[in-house]
Amino acid sequence: MKKHAHASDSSNISPPKSWIRRHPIFTTFSILIFVLFAAVYLYFTLRPYFSTFDRSEQGDLSYSMPSRNGEYIAEIYGVPYGGAAGGAQVESQSGSR
């Protein structure tokens, strides 16, 4: 019996490469751009939550109140900001005596 030529060749066929392996430069560039946009978005979104709240030199002290045991003081500062309408932003800060 003779073997058919196409029968032996079919075992050597490799599956097609994935899209990522066919386009490594485009994939890398796309991932880097996505990470850059995500980092910028997260920076501006989360920056107010991780600030030091030490902005007392930027505004006028509006109100201060000691804690019940007198160990801490809560201070509220009015921080003016610009813009067409103007206004004031209230920043709170707590510190120990």
What would the pLDDT profile of 11-36 be if each residue is shown by its tens digit?
678 788 888 888 889 999 999 999 99
* Residue 63: predicted pLDDT: 81
**Strand 88-96 relative to strand 60-66, pairing:** unpaired
For residue 33, what are its two tokens? 């751009």
| DSSP 8-state class, residue 69 | T
Q: H-helix or E-strand containing 89? A: strand 88-96
Who has greater pLDDT, 65 or 9?
Answer: 65
Q: Is the pTM of this model over 0.85?
A: no
Residue 80 CB contacts under 8 Å (≥ 6 apart), including other chains: 59, 86, 87, 88, 89
The Cα 73–Cα 76 span in angstroms is: 10
Amino acid type, 66: P
